[in-house]
Chain A
């Protein structure tokens, strides 16, 4: 039988550093209480691809994403973005938050333009850019509304527009669809596929949903728990040319979901 997944032994194979939009080397993170979240963690994220960090709660996937974002300091190790080490946040990375992190006192337009506002872009210019991306994520005619007047799904679209508007090379998405209902979530996943093919950016995606990971990812990194380690790297060979329903019935899709499920059950939990 043709193996739809390619399990790779840990650690992940070294990818040519030139190809990696983001690479982490020897990352160690110890929390104040002495809990070791990550230890000697190496991983490279290929440029232009969507890589998903998948694992059970407490495996350090969000911690790793925030270390890459420069929001959480690593105890030891290096984060390389476009080959250069970084300390702290930078304009080449944009973050999409699990709880949306919108300013409740600002309307949709200002929220979507907030990243540009912080970078000192002139008002009319940043509003024009924000409008363009709001339209791109399917939000029109709501720019004067406030976050509390929007549904969870619409709020996250604003968060997505804000991240896209700053035109970063790397988009970091921390369980962006976990706070929305199932239909919205599926629509989001479909939109993310479209967005990916249009935007040509590097996506780093954190989720705990196997189906979601397989549906959107070029590459899935499965993490084990305490300290977080790379348990396996999988590149699901899902044919994404069909309709969403066809993709979800695709043999490779179903097999990948199944094998990841077994892997998580046997090796990780």
Chain B
């Protein structure tokens, strides 16, 4: 970025916003917004508390489990829809409904079904992430060049080899794009699920901090959750860019 002809280093806009936050916090204009430096200091203290570490562990585990199941179910579901037209007609509508539905509304029902514990969180993450993974996988599988499939068949590929050596690889860019959006949605799922359940993990902490107006802690936790979502999605984005050359073969 350039400003008045001077080349600014990366992240300098972030610095501007951080300074603004600090200034507003110090001026004590809004009591909900403590200075950034205080928030960061609190973040350091948080890392030392066992309550925070325990909550982080539960959150990460629920997130990983939910996302793992979402990939394990979403990818095969998408492949099925992409390859079998009757399955696509049967499932397509429901997947499209769920991908755009406000799933937060279902969390109270999930609590009744799965209890007020980590299982509900895992299921929430799963439900937030699985549909977009299935839809993107479906799109990827449908765009596999037909000549690649013909090539594999003409050289004697059976069904298993066709999928393992050609179709899944050819659809990998779309599958990864689906997983990346699934990660972002999964983070939403884990936060929303925990806040609604509100007695485990970060949900319990958020509840505690917000109720007692512990704004430094509240913001520290929020920043951490945001940063995690960003880093996780960027990591998959980097993986996507490494296989960007796929795009060249798709006319």
Binding site for B on A (CB under 8 A): 66, 69-71, 89-91, 93-95, 97-99, 101, 103-105, 114-115, 117-119, 146-148, 162, 166
Question: Which residues of chain A have C-beta atoms less than 8 A from B246's C-beta?
Answer: 104-105
Considering the complex, give the chain B residue whose CB is closest to the CB of A97. B147
Contact A71 B155 (CB under 8 A): no
Question: Which residues of chain B have C-beta atoms less than 8 A from A162's C-beta?
Answer: 155
Interchain nearest-CB distance for B46 vs A (Å):
43
Choose, from B72-80, B161-169, B187-195, the stretch at the interface.
B161-169
Contact B156 A101 (CB under 8 A): no
Question: Known contacts A103-B148, A104-B249; is A89 also within 8 Å of B156 by CB?
Answer: yes
At the interface, is chain A mostly helix, strand, loop or mixed? loop
Q: Can you name 8 extra interface pairs (CB under 8 A) apart from A71-B153, A89-B153, A105-B246?
A: A66-B150, A70-B154, A71-B150, A94-B155, A95-B151, A104-B249, A118-B155, A166-B155
Flag whether B248 is at the interface (Cβ < 8 A).
Answer: yes
Question: Which residues of chain B have C-beta atoms less than 8 A from A69's C-beta?
Answer: 154
Considering the complex, give the chain A residue whose CB is closest to the CB of B150. A71
Binding site for A on B (CB under 8 A): 145, 147-148, 150-157, 161, 165-166, 169-170, 172, 243, 245-246, 248-249
Contact B165 A101 (CB under 8 A): no
Contact A119 B151 (CB under 8 A): no
Contact B155 A119 (CB under 8 A): yes
Question: Which residues of chain A have C-beta atoms less than 8 A from B172's C-beta?
Answer: 105
CB contact between A146 and one of B155, B169, B245 (< 8 Å): that residue: B245
Question: Known contacts A147-B249, A148-B248; is A119 also within 8 Å of B156 by CB?
Answer: yes
Determine the distance from Cα of A147 to Cα of B151 in the docked complex, in whole angstroms. 15
Interchain nearest-CB distance for A72 vs B (Å):
9
| 11 A-B pairs whose Cβ atoms sit less than 8 Å apart in the complex | A70-B153, A89-B154, A94-B155, A95-B154, A99-B145, A104-B249, A105-B172, A105-B243, A118-B157, A146-B245, A148-B245
Question: Which residues of chain B have C-beta atoms less than 8 A from A71's C-beta?
Answer: 150, 153-154
Contact A101 B245 (CB under 8 A): no
Considering the complex, give the chain A residue whose CB is closest to the CB of B152. A118
Question: Which residues of chain B have C-beta atoms less than 8 A from A104's C-beta?
Answer: 170, 245-246, 248-249
Interchain nearest-CB distance for B94 vs A (Å):
28
Interchain nearest-CB distance for A141 vs B (Å):
20
From B147, B155, B243, name the one whose CB has the most chain A CB atoms within 10 angstroms: B155
CB contact between A97 and one of B151, B166, B169 (< 8 Å): that residue: B151
CB contact between B155 and one of A89, A99, A105, A148 (< 8 Å): that residue: A89
Considering the complex, give the chain B residue whose CB is closest to the CB of A117. B165
Contact B156 A148 (CB under 8 A): no
Question: Which residues of chain A have C-beta atoms less than 8 A from B152's C-beta?
Answer: 118
Contact A91 B156 (CB under 8 A): yes
Contact B150 A97 (CB under 8 A): yes
